[in-house]
Chain A
Amino acid sequence: MGQSSLIRPAGEAVTETVPSERATGVRRRSNWARRLSRDKLLVGIGLPGAIALVLFQYVPLLGNVIAFQDYQPYLGFTQAPFVGLQNFSFLWGGDPTFYNALINTLILTIIQTVLVFPVPLVLALLLSSVAGERLKRLLQSVLYMPHFLSWVIVVALFQQMLGNAGMLNTFLIQHNLPQFHIIGVPALFKVLITSQTIWKDAGWGTIIFLAAISQIDQEQYEAAAVDGAGSWRRLWHITLPSLKSLFILLLILRLGNSLNVGFEQIVLQQGPVGRDASEVLDTWVYNNGILGGNWGMSGAVGLVKMVVGIGLVIGANKLAHMFGERGVYEK
């Protein structure tokens, strides 16, 4: 009976060799075939999903050839003239607006990773410590509601509540109190964007963590309590370690998305604060590429972001391995 792939724990190197074969080529080929036949059910189960994914995500990638072309929709990919690396010239062209956008992007991504990313975890811990299932469910349902709103609506809501002509400021004006200006103030733009992101998605983000917390074996808590551990120590020694690998996985994926800090949310609010304060990579491409019908350049930026994103994920994953974590994928 062949060794089932299920039993071997993750991380252990494959040491199995097939004793009968001597020639390398033959061994490799039949090793490959052996593993396929051993795992054929497994592959069969997973294949439909894999095909759907590869088909609809990777095949259209071929369209990124426009990054090397002077492309227009009516020409099609085959007829658009080839221009080599010309569309990538924004990287070395020295356009100050590009570098401004890049810096804004990086600052926002750092703020978001530090401030926005942990919030769902903290909220999830808070929620799970609430006694009473019904109350817990109610609270969760309320907190994730903003997720369903489009950015157009979220921006409008913020305007209505906190805008300079909004409910809060109208109240303040009518009572001769100093006003609260956060919208339309360039210096506070990043604060505004961050608050909006937290408001919109923190609640939704708790769902995954709550599901993970629910997987934790209650007996561990019971045993710890019996041993005299208080709630903080139980949190530190049981809950958090159980969530660690999920948290790191999400963090790595988040890092891979570093250059994507928002498009629709920002482009809707650029007008009042001006581009210096608000331009990020995606809006820069929109303002400088798409608006002028420069599809090739926007394709080029897309490619660059993809390459950078992959590099970041690989790097972050290696970093995770150095700390002994599993990361997104093992070695």
Chain B
Amino acid sequence: MSEAAAMRSTPIFTRRRLLAGAGGLAAMAGATSLVGCSNGVKSANNASVNASVKLPTYVPYTAVKPDLPGTAQGVDNAFRHWPSNNPKAVSEKPGNGQTLTGMANIYYAVPPGPNKNSYWAGLNDRLGVDLQIQMVGNADYATKFPTVIAGNDIPDILQMVVVANFPQLLESKFTPLDEYLAGDAVKDYPNLANIPEFTWKSAVYNGKIYGIPIPRGAIGAYNFIRQDIFEAKGLPTNPKGYNEFIQVTKELTNPKKRTWAFSMIQQPRNFLAAMNNEPNTWREEGGKLTHDYETDEYKQTINDLIAMWKSGVLHPNAFDTAQPFKNLFNAGTCAINAMDGYPGWTQYISDNSSNPNFKLGLMEAYNRAGTGLAHWHDGTGVYSITGLKKQTSKDKIKLILRVLNYLAAPFGTEEYLYRLFGQEGVDHKMSSAGDPVLTKTGQTNTVIPIRYFADAPYTVYQPGRPQDADTQHKYQSVEIPTGIKNPTIGLFSNTAATKNATADAAFTDAVNQIIQGRKPFSDLDTQISTWKSAAGDAMRNEYQDQLQKKGSK
């Protein structure tokens, strides 16, 4: 009755919209579940085609020297202070008065438009274009994306969401960029050449390069901890082995004082995955693939989780998908925040700036026996890719690429300073240590999401806190050498985004029930076979097919 009226009078996310055609809430970025074609619709997207793609040549930028250099293996560059030398990375203005449209998600409060935003106006000036950007709150991006596609209102520059039938979508509406970027052609855009080869792999579909990837480091995530709480309780910040780890979790848990070790079930799950030597999603041995779910190590982890849940070291709402884990970490309720996206370092520092006792630390991952480090599960190396809509004129594509080249100016350059911190005196002021500090105007105005159109490789830098660069760099240097990658990155499976999303969600739901003790552990085998027949075996066959064609690496 009045529910119907309520539903219509507050048309928030109504279920019917969703049913009749709302956005597939496919996981954004981070998950490069590279999609293949579905039921018979042809696509050229397979490994032998993609393997023969010429990726852009990697030409690292060297004019600004990091305090703590990164490595080829994947450790990020780190800076303790803002470099005093800020060379120009782009010699010519990219544009000449044209208009460009773009759409990306935004993680902040929406800023004013260019006529009230000196930063935006200044940016347009420097680019030589009128940049018109549709900003969409990150929580709503997956809903908005399909309407833009279906309505054919695709902007010139679009932050992509990997949806079902992604390769076909790219082929029909977006521009392949090989002629502009493959091999040495990328040298026309030196800042794009600064993006490592591994990152470019995530932008390859149908044998062509279809977008500019937004780079993220191989480390992908950190095991954040509240160092202050660990120190106060005298706990080791790098527990060696399973037993010591469990001991730590028990010390951190006190329901009467409302503290628990972990806030969400994914966190100990991912932490233990490394500790128990699970593969990084798939394990490849001589061209044959075994999925994580099929391994004995996975069963070990589930057993561990059952014990952990029973002992009460997990927050009672750990299975709640909307658990505000960041808040809980900031409040000190859960002192461990395992396997959380590592760019969050900046946010946690910022969120807790008013708490003098707050100390952010990182926990190394040891193997179960405690004899050495566990294998780190490397991330995908990409946040999202940026698609360029099909244009009638090649010059327009080149213009867009020049603009993106500007936006990808590396850390420490003059362009980067403006992009992140705006105009000195207006948007930021230099502190006595030489670090830029955003003013109130700057905080409001500089948040335009251009960093999701193109970005330089991630650089570790925490203004005003040089010690953070050392902490993070050390952590990455320790963990990256142990890293193992997901062997299916750069491959694609027909089933992966269509059937697997559903099968995997059902599997996870059942496993969660097993962990909470509502279903017996023996059920796990049934669930695994269900998952295999629904999606797992098909995916395996598709991936293996392509591994064979590629030849062993």
**So, do A and B actually touch in the complex, CB under 8 Å?**
yes
A residues engaging B (CB < 8 A)?
A: 63-64, 66, 70, 72-74, 76, 81, 97, 117, 120, 147-148, 150-152, 155-156, 159, 163-165, 170, 173-174, 183-184, 186, 197, 201, 204-205, 207-208, 250-251, 253-254, 257, 260, 262-264, 268-272, 274-276, 282, 285-295, 298-299, 301-302
A291 touches B317 (CB 8 A): no
**Are the CB atoms of B172 and A293 closer together than 8 Å?**
no
Question: B386 to nearest A CB, angstroms?
Answer: 17
Please determine whether B321 and A74 come into contact, CB atoms closer than 8 angstroms: no
Contacts A201-B2, A201-B6, A268-B322 given: A293-B24 contact, CB under 8 Å? yes
Q: What's the minimum C-beta distance from B10 to chain A, rounded to whole angstroms? A: 7
Any A CB within 8 A of the CB of B137: no
Please tell me which stretch of B72-80, B187-195, B298-306, B499-507 contacts chain A, meaning at least 4 of its Cβ atoms lie within 8 angstroms of it: B499-507
Known: A72-B169, A292-B164, A292-B502. 17 other contacts (CB 8 A): A73-B149, A164-B317, A186-B518, A250-B2, A263-B14, A268-B321, A270-B509, A272-B516, A275-B506, A289-B19, A290-B19, A290-B22, A291-B501, A292-B501, A293-B26, A298-B21, A302-B19
Identify the interface centre among B18, B513, B518: most chain A CB within 10 Å of its CB: B18
* 18 CB-based A-B contacts, threshold 8 Å: A66-B21, A163-B316, A257-B3, A257-B4, A263-B18, A268-B321, A271-B320, A272-B317, A275-B506, A276-B513, A282-B19, A287-B506, A290-B24, A292-B498, A293-B24, A293-B38, A293-B165, A301-B19
Q: Which residue, of A63, A173, A290, has the highest number of chain B Cβ atoms within 10 A? A: A290
Report chain B residues within 8 Å CB of A253.
Answer: 1, 4
Residues of A within 8 A of B317 (CB): 159, 163-165, 183-184, 272
On chain A, the residues within 8 Å of B315 by CB distance are: 165
Chain B residues with CB under 8 Å of A74's CB are 149-150, 165, 168-169, 172-173
The 6 closest A-B pairs by CB, nearest first: A293-B164, A263-B15, A164-B316, A250-B1, A73-B150, A205-B2
Given contacts A163-B316, A164-B316, contact A274 B512 (CB under 8 A): yes
B502 lies within 8 A of A288 (CB): yes
CB of A255, distance to nearest CB on chain B (Å): 10
CB neighbours (8 Å) of B321 from chain A are 268, 270-271
In the docked arrangement, what's the CA distance between A173 and B260, Å? 14
Residues of A near B169 (CB, < 8 A) are 72-74
Chain A residues positioned under 8 Å from B360 (CB to CB): none
State which residues 301-332 of B face A: CB under 8 Å: 315-317, 319-322
Whether B42 sits at the interface, judged by CB under 8 Å, is no
Confirm or deny: B116 has a beta carbon within 8 angstroms of a beta carbon on chain A: no
Q: Indicate if the CB atoms of A170 and B13 lie closer than 8 Å.
A: no
Please report the total number of B residues contacting A with Cβ < 8 Å.
Answer: 57
Count of A-B contacts with CB under 8 A?
Answer: 160
Q: Is the CB of B322 within 8 A of A155?
A: yes
Chain A: interface secondary structure?
helix
What 1/0 flags go to B510-539 for Cβ under 8 Å of A? 101100101000000000000000000000
Query: Cβ of A150 and Cβ of B10 under 8 Å apart?
Result: yes
Task: Give the chain A neighbours of B258 by CB distance below 8 A.
Answer: 165, 170
Q: Which residues of A contact B225 (CB under 8 A)?
A: none
Contact between B165 and A184, CB atoms less than 8 A apart? no
Q: How far is the CB of A284 from chain B (nearest CB, A)?
A: 10
Q: From known contacts A184-B317, A204-B2, A254-B1, infer whether A291 and B19 are also in contact, taking CB-CB under 8 Å.
A: no
Chain B residue with the shortest CB-CB distance to A70: B39
B20–A302 CB distance below 8 A: yes
Residues of B within 8 A of A170 (CB): 258
A290 to B150, CA, bound (A): 16
B440 at interface, CB cutoff 8 A: no
* Residues A290 and B512 in contact in the complex (CB < 8 Å), given A73-B150, A74-B173, A150-B12: no
Residue B60, interface by CB 8 Å: no
Q: Among the listed B19, B20, B497, which residue makes an inter-chain contact with A293, where contact means beta carbons less than 8 Å apart?
A: B497
Q: Which of B1, B18, B255, B509 has the most CB of A within 10 A?
A: B1
A152, A271, A298: residue with the most chain B Cβ atoms closer than 10 Å: A271
Q: In whole Å, how far is B229's beta carbon from the nearest beta carbon of chain A? A: 17
B534 vs chain A, min Cβ distance (A): 10
Closest to B152 in A: A76
- Chain A residues within 8 Å of B499, by CB: 292
* Inter-chain contact B320/A302, CB cutoff 8 Å: no
A66 to chain B, nearest CB (A): 7
Q: Residue on A with the closest CB to B260? A: A165
- Known pairs A74-B173, A152-B322, A301-B19; A290 contacts B25 (CB<8 A): yes
Q: Does B163 contact A (CB under 8 A)?
A: yes
Asked if B30 is at the interface (CB within 8 A of a chain A CB), the reply is no
In whole Å, how far is A319's beta carbon from the nearest beta carbon of chain B? 17
B16 within 8 A of A: yes
Do A293 and B13 contact each other (CB < 8 Å), given the known contacts A74-B173, A250-B1, A257-B4?
A: no
Smallest Cβ distance from A63 to chain B, in angstroms? Answer: 6
Interface residue? B341 (CB, 8 A): no
Closest CB in chain A relative to B548 CB, distance in Å: 27
Contact of A291 among B150, B260, B502 (CB under 8 A): B502
Q: A302 CA to B20 CA in the complex, in Å?
A: 6
CA distance A274 to B163 in the complex (A): 26
Output the least CB separation between B40 and chain A (Å).
8
Q: Give Cα A263 to B499, complex, Å.
A: 22
Say yes or no: is B146 at the interface (Cβ < 8 Å to chain A): yes
The reply to whether the CB of B256 lies closer than 8 angstroms to some CB of chain A is yes
**What CA separation (Å) do A258 and B259 show in the bound complex?**
42
Task: Choose from A76, A163, A174 the contact partner of B150 (Cβ within 8 Å).
Answer: A76
CA distance A205 to B1 in the complex (A): 8
The CA-CA distance from A303 to B505 in the complex, in Å, is 25
Complex alpha-carbon distance, A164 and B321, angstroms:
15
CA distance A253 to B513 in the complex (A): 37
Is there contact, CB below 8 Å, between A260 and B15?
yes
- Interchain CA distance A141-B164 in the complex, whole Å: 47
- B489-503: CB near A (< 8 Å → 1, else 0) gives 000000001111110
* B165 contact set on A, CB distance < 8 A: 72, 74, 293
Q: A264's contact among B15, B20, B41, B256, by CB below 8 Å, is which?
A: B15
Q: How far is the CA of A87 from the CA of B18 in the complex (A)?
A: 17
| A257 CA to B14 CA, complexed, in Å | 14
Which residue of chain A is the closest to B328 with respect to CB atoms?
Answer: A165
Which A residues lie within 8 Å of B149 (CB)? 73-74
B251-283 to A contact mask, C-beta < 8 Å, 1/0: 000011010100000000000000000000000
Task: Report the nearest A residue to B173, measured CB to CB.
Answer: A74
Q: Is there an interface contact between B502 and A63, defined as CB atoms closer than 8 Å?
A: no
Q: Which residues of A contact B4 (CB under 8 A)?
A: 253-254, 257
Question: How far apart are B511's CB and chain A's nearest CB, in angstroms?
Answer: 10
Against A, the Cβ 8 Å flags (1 = close, 0 = not) of B157-174 are: 000000111001100110
Chain B residues within 8 Å of A286, by CB: 15, 18-19
Q: Give the complex CA separation of A293 and B518 in angstroms.
A: 30
Which residue on B lies nearest to A249, using beta carbons? B1
Shortest CB–CB separation between residue B167 and chain A, in angstroms? 11
Among A73, A152, A164, max chain B CB count under 10 A is at A73
User: Per-residue 0/1 for B444-479: is the Cβ within 8 Å of any A Cβ (1 yes, 0 no)?
Assistant: 000000000000000000000000000000000000
Residues in chain A near residue B6, CB distance under 8 A: 147, 201, 204
B170, closest chain A residue (CB): A74
Instruction: Give the chain A neighbours of B12 by CB distance below 8 A.
Output: 150-151, 264
Q: How far is the CB of A247 from chain B (nearest CB, A)?
A: 9
**CA–CA, A264 to B3, complex, Å?**
13
Question: Do B256 and A173 touch across chains, with their CB atoms under 8 A apart?
Answer: yes
Chain B residue numbers with a CB within 8 Å of A287 are 502, 505-506
In the complex formed, the residue of B with least CB distance to A117 is B1
